[in-house]
Structure 1
Amino acid sequence: MKSRAWLFSFLLLICSNVLAKLPEQSAVPGGVMILPVGNIQQAKPDVRFEGKPVMVVKADGLWQAIVGVPLSAKLGTLRIVVEHGEEKSTQLFTIKDKQYPTQYITVKDERKVNPNSLDMKRINQESSRIQEALTAWTETNNEPVNFVWPIKGRVSGLFGRRRVFNGEPRKPHSGMDIAAKTGTPIHAPAAGIIRGTGDYFFNGNTVFIDHGQGLITMFCHLSRIDVKDGQTVKQGDIIGAVGATGRVTGPHLHLGVSLNDERVEPRLFFPPESELKN
């Protein structure tokens, strides 16, 4: 009986560690910070960063805040606000510098670099829809941060790179690119709810998945979309296929991760890149 009890306890420990799997911490702009904010014997605290709600999960016997750091973050000391009922406190963390390289890209369609007035009207309308998807918040205590890669392929573009299109500087790359053949099925990296789909000027055919507590994944340039807004998906479900829609130079998947409405390094959430290879 004692051996069975010991085995049961051991299996529970393993399961709890799997469920509590956290992203890799990276204290740089575009990174992720993991900060202990209370003992799990206490009620779950409310945590905010720059006024936005922050994911809080159970791990290692503590409540842990999982904070997305903006690419535009100033170096030095930043803070989160932690509320336990009527008690409020602040917790500091430090962000260090990271030099992201510059990527020079040539796009044949000049309008994808310098949109005309009609294009800008469309882009502005789409921006509000994209922002609505990225700011979705679903309260849950089952945060599936143990992601799997959505496709196999070659990494063709890294997160954070300063991009120059046709000689003109533009915003840094907010995700990572994985090159693959048009039509390659794209799988949900974890369970979630589809929080938006559409054909966007820059992003092409796009799908957003809400994984709970402000953790959103984004899939762009698809050749087709196989899910609908509001649909529940499981890890591994097919959500669409690789394509070359929007502003692209060839077929690939743009994979983005947003946490507390900040675009962060996707590789912090996924297995080693060796698992990307065919």
Structure 2
Amino acid sequence: MTRWLLALLWWPVLCARPVLAAHAPSATTYPGGVAVVPLPPSAQPPRVHYHGHPVLVTRRDGHWVALVGIPLTARPGRDQVRVDTGRRRLQLPIRIRPKRYREQHIRLKNRRQVNPTAEDLARIRRESARIHRALATFTPRAIPYPRFDWPVRGVISSPFGLRRFFNGQPRKPHSGIDIAAPEGTPIRAPFPGTVIEAGNFFFNGNSVFIDHGDGLITLYCHMQHIVVQPGQHVERGQVIGTVGHTGRATGPHLHWGVSLNDARVDPLWFVSGALRGQSGPPSRSSETSSSRR
């Protein structure tokens, strides 16, 4: 009798704990990529978290899926997301496979862009806090499966993930793609959203950050002119500014980045053309030897 009473008392606790879903297929990706995790049927979108960060949940082919951004610092191996459907909680597996990114060596004439002064560093610290707040934004919003348009027509001069060296000194990996284009070329929003940050930054130059909802943020750097402001809603294809070379840049180009659940991921994953096997903006060859930011 005592055993039955103890079992009844512990049963709600056991049910409340997340369990690893039996026979759930692993979503496979790599550092800097996006894991597409199929979710169990639910009348409402399940709540999903990855390492404490809320995750974008959307519909694909009539089913719920979680789009999980994997940071460049992620170690290869097994990982998991935590799912709460409202009726049960479980853990679903992710498999992160290795990916080695190329090196890129860039020479800059302006040495302050490599070794900033004390005054510069104070400014950089203030701006880094603004950038972090923008990229960590999570605005609950039901959005369709995100397929982006290209923000500008040009040539991909630096791909995502490059291990970078400025004047021989190692720096953070390239967290976006660089698209070389003539100065003044219009830059367009690739997907609807709301501008959450805009201004001039020491390294990034004139920059715009757009919140598309559910932790999906895009950023646009080194712009010549900005024609939008924080709080403004933008539609797909709306001009947000023009190509320039402000900040740490060796020539006119757009640095385009994507943050998903506060992880920097490859923008090519979201581009409609890339999803069909296209590797660059649809105007010219994507191969170039020039080095941008």
Inter-partner Cα distance in structure 1 for 2:214 and 2:78? 24
Deviation readout 1:185-243 (Å, 9 max, x if unpaired): 10000110001001001000000111111111110000010000010000000000000
State the distance in 2 between where 1:63 and 1:173 align. 31
- Hey, what does 1:156 align to over in structure 2? 157
Alpha-carbon contact 1:37-1:63 (below 8 Å) kept: yes
Q: Could you say what the CA RMSD is over the residues aligned between the two structures, in angstroms?
A: 1.3
Query: Which residue matches 2:282?
Result: 276
Q: Tell me if 1:33 matches 2:39.
A: no
TM-fit CA distance, 1:165? 0.3
TM-score by length of 1: 0.88
Structure 1 distance, partners of 2:28, 2:94, is 12
3-state DSSP class of the match of 1:255? Answer: strand
- Whether the 8 Å CA contact 2:152–2:281 is kept in 1: the answer is no
Counterpart CA distance in 1 for 2:245 and 2:98 is 34
Three-state SS of the structure 1 residue aligned to 2:137 is coil
Which residue of the partner structure matches residue 10 of structure 1?
A: none
Q: Is the 8 Å Cα contact of residues 56 and 261 (structure 2) preserved in structure 1?
A: yes
- C-alpha displacement at 1:143, in angstroms? 3.2
Please name the residue that 1:17 is paired with: none
Closer, same or farther: CA 37–144 of 1 in aligned 2, 3 Å: closer
**Cα contact 1:192–1:210 (8 A) shared by 2:** yes
Contact 2:195 2:230 in 1 (8 A): yes
| Alignment: residue pair count | 253
User: Hey, what does 1:224 align to over in structure 2?
Assistant: 225
Q: What's the secondary structure of 2:121's corresponding residue? A: helix
Deviation of the 1:274 alpha carbon: 5.0
C-alpha deviation, 1:144, in angstroms: 5.8
Deviating above 2 A after TM superposition, structure 1's stretches of 4 or more consecutive aligned residues are 272-276
2:156–2:280: 8 Å Cα contact kept in structure 1?
no
- The aligned residue for residue 18 of structure 2 is none
- Separation in 1, partners of 2:60, 2:224: 39
Amino acid at match of 1:34: V
Report the Cα offset of residue 26 of structure 1.
6.5
Cα distance in 1 for residues equivalent to 2:58 and 2:111: 45
Task: Supply the distance in 1 between the matched residues of 2:122 and 2:71 (Cα, whole angstroms).
Answer: 27
Counterpart of 1:179?
Answer: 180
Larger radius of gyration: 2
Distance 1:231 1:89 in 2: 38
Within 1, Cα distance between the matches of 2:209 and 2:53?
19
Q: Contact between 2:48 and 2:66, CA under 8 Å: does it hold in 1?
A: yes
Query: In 2, distance between residues paired with 1:205 and 1:54?
Result: 29
Give the Cα separation in 2 of the matches to 1:233 and 1:141.
16
Per-residue CA deviations over 1:43-78 (Å, capped at 9, x if unaligned) read 211100010000001112321000000000011001
Question: TM-score, normalising length from structure 2?
Answer: 0.84
The 1:275–1:220 alpha-carbon spacing in structure 2 relative to 1, beyond 3 Å, is: closer
Q: Against the structure 1 CA distance between its residues 241 and 144, is the aligned structure 2 distance closer, same or farther, given a 3 Å change threshold?
A: farther
Deviates more, 1:153-162 or 1:57-66: 57-66
Amino acid in the other structure paired with 1:253: L
What is the distance in 2 between the residues matched to 1:55 and 1:177? 25
CA contact (8 A) 1:54 1:65 kept: yes
Name the counterpart of 1:259. 260
Query: What 5-or-longer segments of structure 2 have no aligned partner?
Result: 1-26, 285-293
Asked if the contact 1:226/1:240 (under 8 Å) is kept, the reply is yes
Per the alignment, residue 142 of structure 1 pairs with: 143
Do the aligned partners of 2:28 and 2:97 also contact (CA within 8 Å) in 1?
no
- Specify whether residues 169 and 122 from structure 1 end up closer, same or farther in structure 2 by C-alpha distance, changes over 3 A only: same
Deviations 1:2-29 (A, max 9, x none): xxxxxxxxxxxxxxxxxxxxxxx86110
The within-5 A match list for 1:55-94 is 55-85=56-86, 87-94=88-95
- 1:109 is the counterpart of 2:115: no
- Return the alpha-carbon distance in structure 2 between the equivalents of residues 67 and 143 of structure 1: 15
Q: In the TM superposition, what are the counterparts of 1:15-34 in structure 2 within 5 Å?
A: 27-34=29-36
Gaps (5+ residues) in structure 1? 1-24
Identify if the C-alpha distance between structure 1 residues 175 and 275 changes in structure 2 by more than 3 Å, giving closer, same or farther: closer
Question: Aligned partners of 1:81 and 1:142: how far apart in 2?
Answer: 21
Distance 2:183 2:145 in 1: 28
1:233 alignment partner in structure 2: 234
